[in-house]
Amino acid sequence: MSELSPISVAFLVFPNVTQLDLTGPAQVLSRLGNTTVDLVWKTKDPVPTDAGFALLPTRTFAETQSADILCVPGGFGTMEVIQDEEVLNWVRKVGADASWVTSVCTGSIVLGAAGLLKGYRATTHWASHDQLAFFGAEPVKQRVVFDRNRVTGGGVTSGIDFGLALAAKIRGEDHARFIQLSIEYDPQPPFESGSPEKADPATLERYWGLVNRSAPGRADKVKAIAKRLGF
Protein backbone atom coordinates (compact mmCIF):
# COMPACT_ATOMS: atom_id res chain seq x y z
CA MET A 1 0.00 0.00 0.00
CA SER A 2 2.92 2.35 0.62
CA GLU A 3 3.62 2.39 -3.13
CA LEU A 4 0.16 3.65 -3.99
CA SER A 5 -0.21 7.32 -4.84
CA PRO A 6 -1.85 9.36 -2.05
CA ILE A 7 -5.50 10.29 -2.45
CA SER A 8 -7.52 12.83 -0.50
CA VAL A 9 -11.30 12.50 -0.30
CA ALA A 10 -13.53 15.32 0.91
CA PHE A 11 -17.18 14.60 1.71
CA LEU A 12 -19.49 17.55 2.21
CA VAL A 13 -21.52 16.98 5.38
CA PHE A 14 -24.52 19.17 6.19
CA PRO A 15 -27.61 19.19 8.43
CA ASN A 16 -30.20 16.57 7.47
CA VAL A 17 -27.82 14.68 5.21
CA THR A 18 -28.77 11.08 4.47
CA GLN A 19 -25.92 9.42 6.30
CA LEU A 20 -25.76 6.27 4.13
CA ASP A 21 -25.20 8.47 1.07
CA LEU A 22 -21.94 9.38 2.78
CA THR A 23 -20.97 6.44 4.94
CA GLY A 24 -21.49 3.83 2.20
CA PRO A 25 -18.98 5.26 -0.27
CA ALA A 26 -16.73 6.47 2.56
CA GLN A 27 -16.33 2.87 3.72
CA VAL A 28 -15.35 1.82 0.21
CA LEU A 29 -13.10 4.75 -0.67
CA SER A 30 -11.29 4.58 2.67
CA ARG A 31 -9.93 1.23 1.45
CA LEU A 32 -8.29 2.62 -1.69
CA GLY A 33 -4.99 2.58 0.19
CA ASN A 34 -2.87 5.61 1.12
CA THR A 35 -6.09 7.59 1.36
CA THR A 36 -7.37 10.25 3.73
CA VAL A 37 -11.11 10.78 4.13
CA ASP A 38 -12.51 13.97 5.62
CA LEU A 39 -16.01 15.13 6.44
CA VAL A 40 -16.11 18.85 5.74
CA TRP A 41 -18.50 21.54 6.97
CA LYS A 42 -18.49 25.17 8.08
CA THR A 43 -17.48 24.23 11.62
CA LYS A 44 -16.42 21.10 13.48
CA ASP A 45 -19.59 21.04 15.54
CA PRO A 46 -21.68 17.83 15.29
CA VAL A 47 -23.95 17.82 12.24
CA PRO A 48 -27.37 16.13 12.59
CA THR A 49 -28.28 13.51 9.99
CA ASP A 50 -31.72 12.36 8.92
CA ALA A 51 -31.15 9.11 10.84
CA GLY A 52 -31.38 10.77 14.25
CA PHE A 53 -27.68 10.80 15.08
CA ALA A 54 -24.93 13.27 14.32
CA LEU A 55 -21.71 13.09 12.33
CA LEU A 56 -18.59 14.91 13.44
CA PRO A 57 -16.82 16.96 10.75
CA THR A 58 -13.06 16.44 10.63
CA ARG A 59 -12.23 19.64 8.77
CA THR A 60 -13.79 23.00 7.98
CA PHE A 61 -14.21 24.74 4.64
CA ALA A 62 -11.34 27.06 5.55
CA GLU A 63 -9.07 24.08 6.23
CA THR A 64 -9.98 22.25 3.02
CA GLN A 65 -9.21 24.13 -0.14
CA SER A 66 -8.62 21.11 -2.37
CA ALA A 67 -9.16 17.37 -2.65
CA ASP A 68 -8.50 14.66 -5.19
CA ILE A 69 -12.07 13.41 -4.83
CA LEU A 70 -14.98 15.68 -3.94
CA CYS A 71 -18.13 13.80 -2.96
CA VAL A 72 -21.46 15.41 -2.15
CA PRO A 73 -24.12 13.21 -0.52
CA GLY A 74 -27.83 13.99 -0.57
CA GLY A 75 -30.81 14.18 1.73
CA PHE A 76 -33.64 16.59 2.50
CA GLY A 77 -31.03 19.06 3.73
CA THR A 78 -29.95 19.72 0.15
CA MET A 79 -32.77 22.27 -0.19
CA GLU A 80 -31.00 24.53 2.27
CA VAL A 81 -27.58 23.77 0.80
CA ILE A 82 -28.48 24.87 -2.73
CA GLN A 83 -29.55 28.22 -1.30
CA ASP A 84 -26.38 28.69 0.75
CA GLU A 85 -23.80 30.63 -1.23
CA GLU A 86 -21.01 29.82 1.24
CA VAL A 87 -21.51 26.11 0.68
CA LEU A 88 -21.88 26.43 -3.10
CA ASN A 89 -18.73 28.54 -3.30
CA TRP A 90 -16.77 25.87 -1.43
CA VAL A 91 -18.13 23.13 -3.69
CA ARG A 92 -17.22 25.20 -6.76
CA LYS A 93 -13.71 25.88 -5.47
CA VAL A 94 -12.86 22.30 -4.56
CA GLY A 95 -14.65 20.89 -7.60
CA ALA A 96 -12.74 23.15 -9.98
CA ASP A 97 -9.45 21.34 -9.36
CA ALA A 98 -10.55 17.92 -8.09
CA SER A 99 -9.58 14.87 -10.12
CA TRP A 100 -13.04 13.47 -9.52
CA VAL A 101 -16.23 15.47 -8.86
CA THR A 102 -18.82 13.09 -7.49
CA SER A 103 -22.14 12.75 -5.71
CA VAL A 104 -24.61 10.27 -4.33
CA CYS A 105 -28.38 10.65 -4.41
CA THR A 106 -29.54 14.29 -4.43
CA GLY A 107 -25.99 15.44 -3.87
CA SER A 108 -25.99 15.78 -7.66
CA ILE A 109 -28.54 18.58 -7.27
CA VAL A 110 -25.94 20.40 -5.17
CA LEU A 111 -23.29 19.84 -7.83
CA GLY A 112 -25.78 21.13 -10.37
CA ALA A 113 -26.54 24.25 -8.33
CA ALA A 114 -22.80 24.90 -8.08
CA GLY A 115 -22.59 24.80 -11.88
CA LEU A 116 -20.54 21.62 -11.99
CA LEU A 117 -22.92 19.44 -14.02
CA LYS A 118 -23.86 21.76 -16.87
CA GLY A 119 -23.42 19.76 -20.06
CA TYR A 120 -22.75 16.52 -18.18
CA ARG A 121 -24.71 13.29 -18.02
CA ALA A 122 -25.73 12.54 -14.43
CA THR A 123 -28.09 10.61 -12.19
CA THR A 124 -29.69 11.05 -8.78
CA HIS A 125 -32.42 9.55 -6.60
CA TRP A 126 -35.30 8.45 -8.84
CA ALA A 127 -37.75 10.84 -7.17
CA SER A 128 -35.57 13.85 -8.07
CA HIS A 129 -34.31 12.63 -11.43
CA ASP A 130 -35.99 15.24 -13.61
CA GLN A 131 -34.64 18.08 -11.45
CA LEU A 132 -31.15 17.62 -12.86
CA ALA A 133 -32.27 19.24 -16.10
CA PHE A 134 -32.99 22.48 -14.22
CA PHE A 135 -29.22 22.90 -13.88
CA GLY A 136 -28.25 22.04 -17.44
CA ALA A 137 -27.41 18.39 -16.78
CA GLU A 138 -28.63 15.46 -18.85
CA PRO A 139 -30.54 13.07 -16.57
CA VAL A 140 -29.64 9.41 -17.10
CA LYS A 141 -31.54 6.58 -15.45
CA GLN A 142 -28.61 4.48 -14.34
CA ARG A 143 -27.34 3.47 -10.92
CA VAL A 144 -23.90 5.01 -11.54
CA VAL A 145 -23.04 7.46 -14.31
CA PHE A 146 -19.53 8.43 -15.45
CA ASP A 147 -19.08 11.45 -17.70
CA ARG A 148 -15.45 12.49 -17.93
CA ASN A 149 -14.43 13.23 -14.32
CA ARG A 150 -18.00 13.58 -13.08
CA VAL A 151 -19.36 10.48 -11.34
CA THR A 152 -22.87 10.44 -9.93
CA GLY A 153 -24.70 7.71 -8.05
CA GLY A 154 -28.42 7.14 -7.73
CA GLY A 155 -30.29 6.96 -4.46
CA VAL A 156 -28.69 6.11 -1.10
CA THR A 157 -27.48 2.49 -1.40
CA SER A 158 -26.05 3.17 -4.86
CA GLY A 159 -23.25 4.96 -3.02
CA ILE A 160 -21.59 1.59 -2.44
CA ASP A 161 -21.81 0.72 -6.14
CA PHE A 162 -20.50 4.18 -6.98
CA GLY A 163 -17.59 3.75 -4.58
CA LEU A 164 -16.59 0.40 -6.05
CA ALA A 165 -16.89 1.65 -9.63
CA LEU A 166 -14.71 4.66 -8.81
CA ALA A 167 -12.23 2.45 -6.97
CA ALA A 168 -11.85 0.36 -10.12
CA LYS A 169 -11.12 3.48 -12.17
CA ILE A 170 -8.50 4.69 -9.69
CA ARG A 171 -6.81 1.52 -8.39
CA GLY A 172 -7.90 -1.04 -10.95
CA GLU A 173 -10.60 -3.70 -11.00
CA ASP A 174 -8.60 -6.22 -8.98
CA HIS A 175 -8.34 -3.80 -6.06
CA ALA A 176 -12.03 -2.91 -6.33
CA ARG A 177 -12.93 -6.60 -6.25
CA PHE A 178 -10.75 -6.96 -3.17
CA ILE A 179 -12.63 -4.11 -1.46
CA GLN A 180 -15.96 -5.67 -2.41
CA LEU A 181 -14.94 -8.95 -0.85
CA SER A 182 -13.54 -7.27 2.25
CA ILE A 183 -16.85 -5.56 2.99
CA GLU A 184 -18.84 -8.66 1.92
CA TYR A 185 -20.87 -6.63 -0.51
CA ASP A 186 -23.09 -9.39 -1.88
CA PRO A 187 -26.57 -7.85 -1.84
CA GLN A 188 -29.53 -10.19 -1.69
CA PRO A 189 -32.51 -7.92 -0.95
CA PRO A 190 -35.41 -9.65 0.78
CA PHE A 191 -37.94 -7.80 -1.38
CA GLU A 192 -38.17 -6.64 -4.99
CA SER A 193 -39.11 -3.10 -4.01
CA GLY A 194 -35.94 -1.09 -4.53
CA SER A 195 -37.04 0.99 -7.50
CA PRO A 196 -40.30 2.56 -8.69
CA GLU A 197 -40.40 0.00 -11.49
CA LYS A 198 -40.32 -2.88 -8.99
CA ALA A 199 -42.36 -1.46 -6.10
CA ASP A 200 -46.08 -2.17 -5.92
CA PRO A 201 -48.42 0.80 -6.51
CA ALA A 202 -49.41 1.13 -2.84
CA THR A 203 -45.79 1.33 -1.69
CA LEU A 204 -44.97 3.86 -4.40
CA GLU A 205 -47.96 6.00 -3.43
CA ARG A 206 -46.94 5.81 0.22
CA TYR A 207 -43.45 7.07 -0.63
CA TRP A 208 -44.74 10.00 -2.68
CA GLY A 209 -46.98 10.86 0.24
CA LEU A 210 -43.94 11.05 2.48
CA VAL A 211 -42.13 13.30 0.00
CA ASN A 212 -45.11 15.60 -0.32
CA ARG A 213 -45.46 15.91 3.44
CA SER A 214 -41.76 16.33 4.14
CA ALA A 215 -40.92 18.60 1.22
CA PRO A 216 -44.10 19.95 -0.37
CA GLY A 217 -43.59 21.48 -3.80
CA ARG A 218 -39.94 20.42 -3.84
CA ALA A 219 -39.55 20.20 -7.61
CA ASP A 220 -41.05 23.64 -8.17
CA LYS A 221 -38.83 25.11 -5.46
CA VAL A 222 -35.71 23.55 -6.97
CA LYS A 223 -36.70 24.91 -10.38
CA ALA A 224 -37.14 28.40 -8.91
CA ILE A 225 -33.77 28.20 -7.15
CA ALA A 226 -32.11 27.11 -10.40
CA LYS A 227 -33.63 30.11 -12.14
CA ARG A 228 -32.36 32.47 -9.43
CA LEU A 229 -28.90 30.96 -9.85
CA GLY A 230 -28.97 31.80 -13.53
CA PHE A 231 -29.67 28.43 -15.12
- As annotated, the active-site residues are 105
Q: For residues 104 and 158, is the Cβ–Cβ distance under 8 A?
A: yes
169-177 contacts, C-beta under 8 A, 24 or more apart: 170/7, 170/32, 170/100, 171/4, 171/32, 171/33, 175/32, 175/33
Q: What CA dihedral angle connects 107, 209, 231 and 117, to 10 degrees?
A: 30
227 by DSSP, 3-state: which?
Answer: helix
The neighbour count for residue 227, using CB atoms within 10 Å, is 10
121-133 b/e (C-beta count within 10 Å ≥ 16 → b): bbbbbbbbbebbe
Give me the residues paired with residue 36 across strands. Answer: 8
